[in-house]
Structure 1
């Protein structure tokens, strides 16, 4: 895809961003066509941030209907949105964030889409979908050089997982012109440093119980952050039940999560008695907590900007938001 030159209006609107990451990166963003699957609490935060960055187009794919709960937590919805198509109802406020971006809605189910549909984008951001569909999308993305990042929020826990394939990037580094130290008055120059990161296929990362995938490579790796196993348990819960854990089924859902967690531990040969991933953590994984959506939405949008602009080093390949300490952790899995 050829990059689009910025108009005078765009150059003025994105002036601060151009000063931050340069005209070349902004032009790459201006040429980017983004597909966002899921426009719920997390999706609305992602949409906000990537719209403000100045992409070319955003397609919102979501077949959901606005509920009272969704109306409360999604700032892109209005008071009269109840029981209407959520992908259509967010358009007015989303467009107001940046009138220069082309925004469209698609109210089909992601499952109903022919896989060729996913070929037509620069990058896909996926939330709230099952693993089998995600892996199919990842396969088509790899064949067509489309970048992919997914993520979800469960209560106060959140994660993102990226497959940017063979991703080349550059970053600006300040270096001394001579051998003097900074405080000795040496001249400083900024140089462009290039690098490449190789991302694994998602089917080498999302290895879950009751599948034919081989987890040996991950089991042999260094000790994993325990939140990685929480992520897998929650993803497998959605695969099994077709929904996220619900507070209205709290007791039954916690029991199911405990069983799934134990299956994950068995698969990865984790000693549960030495793990901090205890039953208590399942009390705080219900719903989408708005501040966590804001944090994770900012992280995912920033990774989208890095992936499209090729500026700065992206996360390789998992980001985990700690539900207890509210710290962000990075993990590299499947490499």
Structure 2
């Protein structure tokens, strides 16, 4: 492993998050992604940019018009071709350090054993998923299963019977001043009022420069958190009495490896409620309903071999599965009705979310860093759905959106006029999503994107619309050109202006009154502050809504 080389210029931001040791594991790994639909290509794009050494894209299905709603490397000229072959040339251009291979055969046990991690995407029967999951579990191959339907998505992970994360937190260890340590069977540590400890139950801490109770110095203790300023460290009755005559002492968080125990899918189905990451605390129990809906769809596919299924079929399968595995107390038939409307709908925004999450799970699997999903995740953005959409499919690339949102909303999206600030990592992702959705493709619709930066080599690691040939070009121009390749109908106007007082003659009241909204995808603090000041706020009242996005490490 010590001989593995990492391009520090290209991966500079990623090295800051992962560290050199974890990054060396990433660039030495092999991953299989099965299914090159909307979420499959998102995952492939993400892990190729991240530098996985060998990525194989596998698919036996051919391109259809429906794929064009989310698979951003496909167009009408590729309909009828194998999906993996059809997007291969675009994927290999993302990272020269990554070897990308195509497999158009069915997955076999022999082919699975070549990889450190296997990712199953798209619709498939529950029996097929179980079979592949059993092979992976028996051979200690990390498995990630992910699918998106409409506004719903789910993930299942199995990283083996014993998986060790060397750094489950992935952030700088906490350091804090001590105010008091009591002598008790559960010795209580109180931190300085201005410095919370930022610890969680089970974390480890080491003390230094503590006076009086010197026995705790240079020793490691497991903590139980009481509050942001207090935690216990076990029996301190035999230690000296804490004093702070000259100094208070410090507590330092110690990063220790954390072990996770995964079940094979067949067993995990009996423990969904124990092995689910609760996401939607506002609608407690919805996550389990979503997982059950995806499992039920896969159960129906055993008979239909198609995602085109009825509400009645979905409910019958859900009842059978729930009777066997006790996943929910009562099936939410309203949720299942909404889910059934979109079993053929794969849309870009949902794929972007789950492609990002699954991509991170791949990095966790191969780098042994951060806390992985253990083991189910289900999310449903039901609030985005209209109550009674009027649906009349037209046979074009936008039908997956009409299936769930209706024709009126699709028409409205195509006529949107948006101002985007920033064409970096977030801006590239947003432009890709808008191109897939059909935003600004009709009438007076349009996207005005401004960014004063030019493209540097380090940008290529995360700003996927750019290639080596684009280095030195203005980001807004190159990003607009790339988005138009994904959808020739999107109307984009590229600016290179800094948004601030010096450009108020351009971005004035007349400009903002013509907009449907503003999307701020900038990382510049000064511009963000300016865009929150009274002058900008007054103008943007004419331009509702205002969308904000930000990123920090893996969040």
**TM class by smaller structure:** 0.7 to 0.9
DSSP-derived class of the 2:118 partner? strand
Q: 1:28 aligns with which of 19, 25, 28?
A: 25
Which shifted more, 156-165 or 258-267?
258-267
Alignment of 1:158 with 2:153, yes or no, is: yes
Which shifted more, 295-304 or 279-288?
279-288
Of structures 1 and 2, the one scoring higher in RCO (CA 8 A, sep 6+) is 1
> Does the 8 A contact of 2:311 with 2:336 survive in 1?
no
Structure 1 spans left out of the alignment, 5+ residues = 207-214, 247-252, 327-335
Structure 2 match to 1:209 = none
DSSP-derived class of the 1:314 partner? coil
- Cα deviation for residue 277 of structure 1 reads 4.2
> Does the 8 A contact of 1:173 with 1:191 survive in 2?
no
Structure 2 match to 1:261 = 318
> Does the 8 A contact of 1:237 with 1:245 survive in 2?
no
The structure in which a higher percent of residues are helix is 1
> Does the 8 A contact of 1:237 with 1:260 survive in 2?
yes
Return closer, same or farther for 1:271/1:150 CA change in 2, 3 Å cut-off: closer
Q: 1:299 aligns with which of 347, 357, 363?
A: 357
Structure 1 match to 2:144 = 149
Provide the C-alpha distance between the structure 1 equivalents of 2:57 and 2:36, rounded to a whole number of angstroms: 7
Structure 1 match to 2:164 = 168
Return closer, same or farther for 1:137/1:184 CA change in 2, 3 Å cut-off: closer
Provide the C-alpha distance between the structure 2 equivalents of 1:189 and 1:37, rounded to a whole number of angstroms: 44
Provide the C-alpha distance between the structure 2 equivalents of 1:66 and 1:274, rounded to a whole number of angstroms: 34
Q: 1:119 aligns with which of 113, 122, 126?
A: 113
CA RMSD of aligned residues (A): 2.9
DSSP-derived class of the 2:164 partner? strand
Return closer, same or farther for 1:140/1:263 CA change in 2, 3 Å cut-off: closer
Q: 1:238 aligns with which of 301, 304, 312?
A: 301
Provide the C-alpha distance between the structure 1 equivalents of 2:2 and 2:379, rounded to a whole number of angstroms: 34
Q: 2:58 aligns with which of 44, 61, 66?
A: 61
> Does the 8 A contact of 1:41 with 1:288 survive in 2?
yes
DSSP-derived class of the 2:112 partner? helix
> Does the 8 A contact of 1:36 with 1:126 survive in 2?
yes
- Cα deviation for residue 35 of structure 1 reads 0.3
Structure 2 match to 1:205 = 268
Structure 2 spans left out of the alignment, 5+ residues = 179-190, 197-248, 277-283, 385-555
Structure 2 match to 1:99 = 96
Structure 1 match to 2:259 = 196
- Cα deviation for residue 284 of structure 1 reads 4.0
DSSP-derived class of the 1:305 partner? helix
Structure 1 match to 2:527 = none
- Cα deviation for residue 312 of structure 1 reads 0.8
DSSP-derived class of the 2:8 partner? helix
> Does the 8 A contact of 2:315 with 2:333 survive in 1?
no
Structure 2 match to 1:131 = 126
Q: TM-score scaled by structure 2?
A: 0.51
Alignment of 1:86 with 2:83, yes or no, is: yes
> Does the 8 A contact of 2:293 with 2:336 survive in 1?
no
Provide the C-alpha distance between the structure 1 equivalents of 2:172 and 2:251, rounded to a whole number of angstroms: 10
Provide the C-alpha distance between the structure 2 equivalents of 1:106 and 1:195, rounded to a whole number of angstroms: 35
> Does the 8 A contact of 1:59 with 1:104 survive in 2?
yes
Residue correspondences, number: 305
Return closer, same or farther for 1:153/1:101 CA change in 2, 3 Å cut-off: same
Return closer, same or farther for 1:126/1:221 CA change in 2, 3 Å cut-off: closer
Provide the C-alpha distance between the structure 2 equivalents of 1:62 and 1:3, rounded to a whole number of angstroms: 35
Return closer, same or farther for 1:4/1:205 CA change in 2, 3 Å cut-off: farther
Alignment of 1:70 with 2:67, yes or no, is: yes
Return closer, same or farther for 1:202/1:178 CA change in 2, 3 Å cut-off: same
- Cα deviation for residue 271 of structure 1 reads 5.2
